[in-house]
Amino acid sequence: MKLFNINNYKNLIRVTGLFTGVHGLNIVLNMVRNKIASELLGPVGIGLNAIYNETRELIHSTTNCGMDIAGIRGISQKVEEFNNEADAQRKKVVANEISDRISLLRSWILIFAALGSMICLFLAQPISWLAFEDFDHALGCMLLAPAVGFSTITCGELTILKATRRLKALATVSVMNVVLGVIVTWPFYQFMGISGVLPALVCLSLAQVIATSAYSYRNHKPKFCFERIFLRNGVPMMRIGLAFVLTNLVSHGTQLAIRYILNNQAGGGETGLHEVGLYAAGYAIAVTYGSIIFASLDNDFFPRLTGVFDNIEQRRLAVWRQIRFSLALAIPFTIAIYALLPWLLPLLNSEEFMGAEQMARFASIGLIFRAVYTPLAYIPLAAGHSRLFMTLEFFSYLGLFICVTSGYTLFGLNGAGIGLTVSIFIDTCVALIVAKLKYKV
């Protein structure tokens, strides 16, 4: 059958091989970084870092107006048109349109970076109270402001590399950013201990924005325009992106709320941060490291699906090929994690994190369902149906919050791991129904 012909999967194998290799290297480097952090900071320091990092991600992702998604869609469509255009004169016109869209995206990203930093400054006290039930960490939350702005700019430049299909450049930048993560953070953890968590995060964000921008500018020279008539052209992108603002708010807000609840239910203070640290370690092994399987989806599958979406047959082939390929990787990967956890946790962290073993084991089963769910979740995005995507994501994260917090309340950390798997199973069932009924996939 043509659907199973190995030739149909050659591009998937090539691109997945590239990004799985890169992502695998990134994970190895992150493992080194986490090992250093675990040994030097312990569960309490890891828990504090998790809360600060998730706070930064929440503010950054909700103040960029979803430009990382809307920008990909707008630019990648023009790139696809440029690649398929035979007329030389028309190619020049499309190339100028691509350049204008990139300039528009960069201009808005700078505005949103400044906005995110200001919001972080103004909301420092409420964030401190919500996270730690005190105002002692308000100064720390204020110092997160530069990291929020740097993260937004980095995200914008990565969006440009993805949308223009500069996959090798994207892979190189990804490795560089993780290498910087090891080099920049180690001195702070070594010489400052837990006090170095925040300055390490800020300095790492600065190093990454410099590295990413420098590499992105090689392909597309920096050009900005802040005239109102030019910026107005970004309104259609923003209309799509605003839906993703709410989605990101729900997404990262959920992850942050889960950590808040674990911290508070465990009694707060060092005890609460210790529990958050165990959860973060288990989550990293079962979910974050497991994401190596899906390394090519964001960088290759989504732009490719967007380009062929109007062709129903091509759409169906693209989605199901990706699902089959992801499952072929997810099943053995899950078995390996499940079996090797007694050695992985102390190897990647330290003996202090062995309390997360069963939680990570239960959560790792969810990788199999995630292999099916993740390609399906990109379909509404590729279609430009932001409201549907937002609705599905809202209920997905609501389910995640209910499952994980209920599981933790009933069975502790093990229940949180069970909740992670139950929530992704429910998401997969819903995504399959929507893909079949609405998109004929």
pLDDT digits over 84-119, tens only? 777 878 888 888 888 888 999 999 999 999 999 999
Is the pLDDT at 72 greater than 90, yes or no? no
- 265 token code pair: 């239910």
Q: What domain range includes position 435?
A: 2-439
Give the residue carrying structure tokens 């995110």: 116
What's the Cα-to-Cα distance from 188 to each of 146, 159, 204, 279, 311, rounded to whole Å? 17, 30, 11, 23, 52
Distance CA 156, CA 164 (A): 13
Is the pLDDT at 48 greater than 70, yes or no? yes
Residue 267, pLDDT score? 76
Residue 296, pLDDT score? 56
Of the two residues 269 and 196, the one the predictor is more confident about is: 196
Tell me, what DSSP letter sits at residue 297? Answer: I
Which amino acid is present at 307? G
Cα atoms found within 13 Å of the Cα of residue 26, Cβ hemisphere only: 22
Q: pLDDT confidence of 207, banded at 50, 70, 90?
A: very high
Rounded (10°) angle between helices 10-63 and 88-122: 40
pLDDT tens digits, residue range 143-156?
Answer: 899 999 999 999 89
Residues whose CB is less than 8 angstroms from the CB of residue 229 and which lie 6 or more positions away in sequence, other chains included: none
pLDDT tens digits, residue range 292-336?
Answer: 777 656 556 777 787 778 888 888 988 998 899 889 888 998 998
Q: What is the DSSP string of 116-130?
A: HHHHHHHTHHHHHHH
Supply the Cα-derived Rg of the chain in whole angstroms: 21
Of the two residues 440 and 86, the one the predictor is more confident about is: 440
Residues whose CB is less than 8 angstroms from the CB of residue 296 and which lie 6 or more positions away in sequence, other chains included: 12, 15, 16, 18, 19, 20
- 286 token code pair: 């079962």
pLDDT tens digits, residue range 273-293?
Answer: 888 889 988 998 888 777 777
Phi, psi of 135 (to 5 degrees): -105, 10
Percentage of the chain beyond pLDDT 90 is 30
Is the pLDDT at 20 greater than 60, yes or no? no
Mean pLDDT across 64-76: 76
Which amino acid is present at 372? V
* Contact assessment for residue 24 and residue 250, using Cβ atoms and an 8 Å cutoff: no
30-283-294 Cα angle (round to 5): 70
Domain count, the chain: 1
Residue 251, pLDDT score? 79
Residue 298, pLDDT score? 58
Residues whose CB is less than 8 angstroms from the CB of residue 217 and which lie 6 or more positions away in sequence, other chains included: none
Q: pLDDT confidence of 250, banded at 50, 70, 90?
A: confident
Residues whose CB is less than 8 angstroms from the CB of residue 255 and which lie 6 or more positions away in sequence, other chains included: 54, 58
pLDDT tens digits, residue range 393-432?
Answer: 889 999 999 999 999 999 999 999 999 999 999 999 999 9
Mean of the per-residue pLDDT values for the chain? Answer: 84
* Contact assessment for residue 379 and residue 64, using Cβ atoms and an 8 Å cutoff: no
Is the pLDDT at 14 greater than 70, yes or no? no
Mean pLDDT across 69-85: 77
Distance CA 80, CA 159 (A): 16
Lowest mean pLDDT among 12-16, 101-105, 179-183, 222-226: 12-16
Give the residue carrying structure tokens 């917090």: 405
Give the other-Cβ count within 10 Å of 87's Cβ. 9
Which amino acid is present at 171? A
Distance CA 113, CA 68 (A): 13
Is the pLDDT at 10 greater than 60, yes or no? no
Is the pLDDT at 3 greater than 50, yes or no? no
Distance CA 187, CA 199 (A): 11
Is the pLDDT at 5 greater than 60, yes or no? no
- 289 token code pair: 């490291």
Distance CA 343, CA 354 (A): 10
Distance CA 184, CA 174 (A): 15
What's the Cα-to-Cα distance from 50 to each of 58, 235, 257, 280, rounded to whole Å? 12, 34, 12, 7
Distance CA 42, CA 341 (A): 19
